[in-house]
Structure 1
Amino acid sequence: MDTPKYIYIDDENDSSIESLINGFNDTKLIAVERLPLSKGMDFSTLKNLIIQKIEKDSYSGLLIDLRLDGEGPDSLDYSAISISSELRALSAREEIPSFPIVLCSTIDKIKETYKSDKTSHDLFDYTFKKAEEPNYEKFSKKLCSLAKGYKDLPYKDFSLETIFNRPDLNTLDQRIFERFFNQDIIVPYDFAYFAVKTLFHCTNPLIKETTLAARLGVDIAKSGDSWLTLLSKFENCKYSGLFSDGWNRWWADILNIQLKEISGKNFSFLKAEERVEILSQTFGIDDLVPAVPITNNASSEFWTICEALKLPLDPLEGVKIRLSHELKPWQEPKYISLYAAAERIGVDKGIEPHYTELERIEEFKKGS
């Protein structure tokens, strides 16, 4: 597949927009081209322009600002939510090809509109949050993966084992995949949404690299190349299915089995120093550095991370955070440390404690 091309739609028209487009294009992983708007452009005209780009001009996806009806010079009378909803409906009816739709907006706009309208969450494959210095390499990699993955997704005769590249999916909680057995019609977006929102952005059955390091008891930054060497010893746990070239994830259940075989013990009950000693001796890796507890914490029996600090955390010393969705029965909560909660670290990124934890945080403040 050639370099995936994304249409970019925004009602603003300043230097920041050009900078954003150049940031993506400079990576050479994707190509982004702005679709010119005119103030008050009607809904059907924009819809048809997008469809033409996808069907005739070989564009792979859509990158769209949330508030097209904002105060920009090219503002419209409708938002990204309404146009994206129509495009998804057309794809579901197989009137147009399915393609990734990525939301591109500021934190403030997302808080104002997106978070209060939970029905819109299902429309977008991914959310790119505009910032002063975005990690364009990271985000371009994900957008490239989405575009390529959509090309391979089937409408019919699907195989979950093939799509998620794991032959023994039946060993997992069967409720995880039940949605695919309760739908008469399944379109590519169903798989894309499930992979990104249900598997990648939640903890269990897959975990991300920082969580993996926490469960191994390792300080990534201080371990340097030794961490990469250790990672190579857990390749059998690595997720290799749909969109795996955009998201690095590991199967939590396979990891648990491997750790049990290595140590004969439940790793979650071991301190970080004990875990690192076992791993170092088992694989002959020098210079692995054990992770240490976050400020005001004492336990190194890590099993998750502080989402605000991205550091290992014992869930018993953590504070559950507020999520924009309800947890599925098989998913684990996300946490921040009491220190991060008290100092309001991460609030600017939308990371906030669950309301049930507020009294506990206040008690911590009084005692610290």
Structure 2
Amino acid sequence: MDFKILYIEDQAAESREQDLINLGFNTLTYDPSSDISEVLQQVKQADINALILDYRLTAGQKQACFDAPTIAQTLRTKYSHDTNNKYEFPIILMSNEGIITDYYNDFTSQDLFDFTLTKKEFLDKPERFKSKLISFINSYEVIKDSKYDILKILGITSNEENLVHTGIITKTKQFDQHTFEFSRLIFEQIIRAIGPLIGKDVLAARLGVSQSSPDWDKLLLSLTNTRYVGILSDVYPRWWMAKINEWWYGITEATIPLRRLDAEERVETIKSKLNLDLVPIIKTEYSNSSNFWTICKYSNVAIDPFDGIELYKRDLLPWQEKEYISIETGLTSMDKLKDYISVIDKKAIRELVKKINANG
């Protein structure tokens, strides 16, 4: 399909426009004026599949007096009740690194864009950007075509309803058929969180298997029926934890859950049943347990939550699991993370630092 993209940039955009064209997108560029209604008219006339915005839009020849969040907010609200959903499409923020940092510091703007990236990230990995953008465009179509049926959107059948936490169903009932809200919930709160779905690093931790194992790919192949196949699954591989548990009991014919075994025990069981060459994950220096169940949020190393440092200051939704960092990350990044670590954990880390220093 020939996807049509509108790229709004206030300065010379020819190079970026050509980059997008080279990726196969039918690309239009636009330097916004100071009248936002003209911008909206341009969007309507373009009949696009996605919109890409630079953050700062005030330095162009037409002297726009607003930035990307204003355009995104206006589009999200003005056409939120459009009956044919013609103006609901992915909106992507692409700007310079420092400006993207400003965006993340502006909490009022963080619920407007489907995803963000720096221009450097775009140039470094253009094919990754292409795959991701196409996946988001397709996800909007799936959401609309499914008539906002959350089971269909998540790629599960009616007899698999138990995979979906009731909180997710309750949440989607509030969206009133707003495509962006469905897409954002699934991307930000289901795919990018640890809960009913888990990513590859958490999967490895819970199986106790190192991803550098010779037969890691064969192990993944044996887990094909546990894969998530809903929207965005082509660029964000995920697995249903409930199905992983079913798989585990199916191959082991045991009654002992994964959580109660250490990495070596899990790996030996899987190796004996599937005849695969697998290597267990080795615990980190300051970990006591190899009963891995989660990962460090910043280093992605496997940890047992009992060895981890719990992160606070985030309102978890009912289906989401707590987030942790490893002790190693706590030791090296205390200043950056101090607002997210409890007083007790901060004290424990300081005591560990003293002990390490005392031992030379």
Question: With structure 1 as the length reference, what TM-score do the two structures score?
Answer: 0.83
SS at match of 1:8: strand
Question: Does the 8 Å CA contact 1:143/1:246 hold for their aligned counterparts?
Answer: no
The count of aligned residue pairs is: 347
- The one of 123, 128, 149 aligned to 1:159: 149
Give the superposition deviation at 1:239: 0.5
- The one of 194, 203, 211 aligned to 1:212: 203
SS at match of 2:318: coil
Q: 1:153-172: per-residue Cα shift (whole Å, max 9, x none)?
A: 22884322222121222454
Question: Does the 8 Å CA contact 1:107/1:130 hold for their aligned counterparts?
Answer: yes
CA distance in 2, matches of 1:107, 1:269: 44
- The one of 227, 236, 253 aligned to 1:238: 227
SS at match of 2:94: strand
CA distance in 2, matches of 1:327, 1:318: 18
CA distance in 1, matches of 2:310, 2:55: 28
CA distance in 1, matches of 2:165, 2:9: 42
One-letter amino acid of the counterpart of residue 274, structure 1: E
Match runs of 1:1-368 below 5 Å: 2-13=1-12, 18=15, 28=23, 31=25, 33=27, 35-37=29-31, 41-53=34-46, 55=47, 59-69=48-58, 76-94=64-82, 96-106=86-96, 108-117=98-107, 119-131=108-120, 134-154=124-144, 157-167=147-157, 168-183=160-175, 185-220=176-211, 222-224=212-214, 226-263=215-252, 264=254, 265-286=256-277, 288-321=278-311, 325-344=314-333, 354-356=340-342, 357-368=345-356
Which runs of 5 or more structure 2 residues have no equivalent in the other structure?
Answer: none
CA spacing shift, 1:182–1:50, aligned 2, 3 Å: closer
Q: 1:63-85: per-residue Cα shift (whole Å, max 9, x none)?
A: 2233334x688863212111101
How much identity, in percent, do the aligned residues show? 28
SS at match of 2:237: coil
One-letter amino acid of the counterpart of residue 214, structure 1: A
CA distance in 2, matches of 1:358, 1:140: 42
SS at match of 1:103: strand
CA distance in 2, matches of 1:322, 1:8: 38
Q: Name the structure, 1 or 2, with higher relative contact order (CA <8 Å, separation 6+).
A: 1
SS at match of 2:306: helix
Structure whose CA Rg is larger: 2
Give the superposition deviation at 1:122: 2.1
- The CA RMSD measured in Å over matched residues stands at 3.0
SS at match of 1:7: strand
Which runs of 5 or more structure 1 residues have no equivalent in the other structure?
Answer: none
Q: 1:273-312: per-residue Cα shift (whole Å, max 9, x none)?
A: 21111111111112x1211122322322111112322221
Question: Does the 8 Å CA contact 2:207/2:266 hold for their aligned counterparts?
Answer: yes
Question: With structure 2 as the length reference, what TM-score do the two structures score?
Answer: 0.84
SS at match of 2:116: strand
CA spacing shift, 1:299–1:32, aligned 2, 3 Å: farther
CA distance in 2, matches of 1:199, 1:238: 14
CA spacing shift, 1:41–1:206, aligned 2, 3 Å: same
CA distance in 2, matches of 1:228, 1:296: 29
